[in-house]
Chain A
Amino acid sequence: MAILGSAQLPAETSIPSVVSTAPVTNLAPRHSALVRFTHWITTICFFALLLTGIEIVISHPRFYWGETGTVLTTPLFQLPIPSSRRLVSTGYGYVLPDQNGWSRALHFEAAWIAVLTGLLYVVSGLLTRHFRKDLVPIKADLSWRALWTSFAKPFRFERPSAIEAFSYNGLQRLTYLFVIFVLFPLVIWSGLAMSLGFASAFPWSVTLLGGRQSARTIHFFVSLALVLFLFVHVSMVCLAGFWSRTGAMITGRTRTRKEHA
């Protein structure tokens, strides 16, 4: 109870001195077993997808808009990186080794596992009211002032208050909802739109995105957005205390006492 008491203090109050040193026991887990399981499966898949995605892009680091695009057409932009194909002129005097075979295979396999894991997460999240309880922001957190405070705090390298070890602030909730219900669906959709088989069954999935090459470009930018999210996410975890927050996502338990020791 001492912990909960201290958590209700204003965020500016110095927490460590007030936090009880009594061992934390019999608290509901910070993250449910299913959230923890799907989180780490998704993490592994995300890194596999990122690595193989980079490998595949290296074979053609040019991006286009519309239906078509080859080395004979003008790109929207070209990444200033070397390529694994001789016929792509990059300005580098060498050609990287071709890694597309296994990269494609692992990309699609990781995508399958990530999508199935994501479905499990979303369905169970709806059934257990995880989204409503933990991720839909409460009204007070949605004021510009509250959002600004949440946004600015990390830049002052302020550690989150103790209450935030048990709950997310409005900005975090909005960000997680955006990643789960906008970025992930969009990256899956734009990826599937590049599948010729999928496109034959659902042609509108390509045309709605503006064509095959547009889908590829969108896939690239949404992936970039996800990488940006990952970067911010890990930075915030580090700021809050890497081991305690990572531990909470592994064991489900929040060791507030240790964190502030």
Chain B
Amino acid sequence: MINLSRRKLLVSGLAATAGASGLAAAARLAQKYGLVPPDHGGIYGLGETLTYASQRLLTRHSLAREFSRSQISPRPFPNELAPLTEEFKRLQGGRFADWRLSVGGLVAEPASFSIADLKSYPSRSHITEIACEEGWSYIAEWIGVPLSHVLNVVGVHPQAKYVVYTSMEPDTWDSIDMADALHPQTFLCYGMNGSELPVAHGGPLRMRLPRQIGYKNIKFITRLTVTDSLKRFGKGLGSAACEAGYAWYTGI
């Protein structure tokens, strides 16, 4: 039979207590250093948190792989689009001259930008892959203004923790932490492979995060909200995708 001596009980009791308090301390530390994703609850919370925390510690400043011009995919695959809204078609008719990106929340000066305004800022490009969670991927040159530039223009409050970005497509929004928002390869993207960003690929304005999966690179961006908490947005999980069962952090 199992021999549970007093000593064994004592030792395992102590180990369990140490383990539990160690976990609690780790959780507090992780929270303090922004290593806990908004969708940390539920049965997959452990995996989501381990992935997000380890990648934040490991990749805060690392750059996505960049490719040579000869590696650009000849036929970039635009994924399926929801039917375009009437409002979108109206703006498309005017060649997006009336497209506005409004920026608000925890910023010094809320502002609204046209595509021309965004193009007047320093233009940057990188040749990176976009990878879908399904498994396919292609390489393209992405042209845009670094999100950090626009955030500097409006002046972000020090307590800012996330940037929420909203699409013109209904119920389509997502958010990133400041590490990703200020990352040099994170673009408000308006061009692709030397031309305007095609509508099929999210034109006139798409969020481009080369270190995260395709669905995080939301198309038709119209609003940015800087915030210190994601609780007030939707169900508080950080994105519309989360509400449909998809992870918030997609560096994996």
Name which residue of chain B comes closest to A61, CB basis: B135
Say yes or no: is B87 at the interface (Cβ < 8 Å to chain A): no
| CA of A212 to CA of B241, assembled, Å | 24
| CA of A67 to CA of B129, assembled, Å | 9
Number of A-B contacts (CB under 8 A): 128
B143 contacts which chain A residues (CB < 8 A)? none
With A62-B136, A69-B137 as given contacts, are A112 and B47 in contact (CB-CB < 8 Å)?
yes
With A72-B75, A200-B63 as given contacts, are A108 and B135 in contact (CB-CB < 8 Å)?
no
A contacts with B, residue count (CB < 8 A): 40
Mark interface residues in B98-133 (1 if CB within 8 Å of A CB, else 0).
000000000000000000000000000000010111
Stretch at the interface among A14-22, A148-156, A190-198: A190-198
B contacts with A, residue count (CB < 8 A): 44
State whether B58 touches A109 (Cβ < 8 A).
Answer: no
Say yes or no: is A206 at the interface (Cβ < 8 Å to chain B): yes
B138 contacts which chain A residues (CB < 8 A)? 68-70
State whether B131 touches A196 (Cβ < 8 A).
Answer: yes
State whether A71 touches B211 (Cβ < 8 A).
Answer: no
Residue positions of B touching A, CB distance < 8 A: 43-44, 46-48, 50-51, 55, 58-59, 62-65, 67, 71, 73, 75-77, 79-80, 129, 131-139, 210-213, 241, 244-247, 250-252
Q: Which 4 A-B pairs have the closest CB atoms?
A: A109-B47, A197-B251, A101-B245, A70-B77
What are 22 A-B residue pairs whose CB atoms fall within 8 Å in the complex? A56-B135, A59-B133, A59-B135, A68-B71, A68-B139, A72-B77, A85-B134, A87-B79, A87-B80, A101-B246, A102-B44, A106-B47, A109-B47, A109-B48, A112-B46, A196-B131, A198-B58, A198-B59, A198-B251, A198-B252, A200-B64, A200-B65
